[in-house]
Amino acid sequence: MYKADENRYEKMTYNRCGKSGLLLPAVSLGLWHNFGDTGNYQNMKDMCHTAFDNGITHFDLANNYGPAPGSAETNFGKILKEDFSAYRDEMIISTKAGYDMWPGPYGNWGSRKYLISSLDQSLKRLGLEYVDIFYHHRMDPETPLEETMGALEQIVRSGKALYVGLSNYDGATLEKASEILEDRHVPFVINQNRYNIFDRIIEKNGLKMTAKRLDKGIICFSPLAQGMLTDRYLNGIPEDSRIRTDGRFLKENQVSDKLDKVRKLNDIAVKRGQTLAEMALSWILHDGIVTSVLIGASRPSQILDNIKALENTAFSQDELNEIDSLSI
Ligand X SMILES: NC(=O)c1ccc[n+]([C@@H]2O[C@H](COP(=O)([O-])OP(=O)(O)OC[C@H]3O[C@@H](n4cnc5c(N)ncnc54)[C@H](OP(=O)(O)O)[C@@H]3O)[C@@H](O)[C@H]2O)c1
149 binds ligand X per the rule CB under 6 A: no
CB of 183 to ligand X, least distance (A): 25
Sign, Cα dihedral of 323, 271, 227, 126: negative
171 binds ligand X per the rule CB under 6 A: no
Cα–Cα dist 44/34, whole Å: 7
Question: Residue-wise over 159-182: b if at least 16 C-beta within 10 A, else e?
Answer: ebbbbbbbbbbbbebbbebbebbe
Residue 3: C-alpha distances to residues 50, 82, 86 (Å) = 11, 11, 9
The residue (of 135 and 315) whose beta carbon lies closer to ligand X is 135
221 binds ligand X per the rule CB under 6 A: yes
66 binds ligand X per the rule CB under 6 A: no
Question: Which position among 108, 173, 178, 230 is part of the footprint of ligand X (CB under 6 A)?
Answer: 230
CB of 222 to ligand X, least distance (A): 4
3-11, 40-48, 143-151, 225-233 -> range binding ligand X (CB under 6 A) = 225-233
Task: State the number of CA atoms in the 13 A half-sphere of 166 facing the CB.
Answer: 28
Cα–Cα dist 30/324, whole Å: 26
Strands (E), 195-318: 217-221, 292-295
The residue (of 296 and 318) whose beta carbon lies closer to ligand X is 296
Cα–Cα dist 199/222, whole Å: 9
Question: Which position among 17, 31, 44, 174 is part of the footprint of ligand X (CB under 6 A)?
Answer: 31
295 binds ligand X per the rule CB under 6 A: yes
CB of 142 to ligand X, least distance (A): 19
Q: Which of 124, 143, 212 shows the shortest CA–CA distance to 174?
A: 212
| 185: alpha, beta or left? (left if phi > 0; alpha if psi -120 to 50) | left
178 binds ligand X per the rule CB under 6 A: no
The residue (of 60 and 153) whose beta carbon lies closer to ligand X is 60
Question: Which position among 279, 302, 310, 313 is part of the footprint of ligand X (CB under 6 A)?
Answer: 302
298 binds ligand X per the rule CB under 6 A: yes
242 binds ligand X per the rule CB under 6 A: yes
The residue (of 159 and 236) whose beta carbon lies closer to ligand X is 236
Cα–Cα dist 139/170, whole Å: 8
Q: Which residues bind ligand X (CB under 6 A)?
A: 30-33, 60, 137, 167-168, 192, 221-227, 230-232, 241-242, 277, 294-298, 302, 305-306
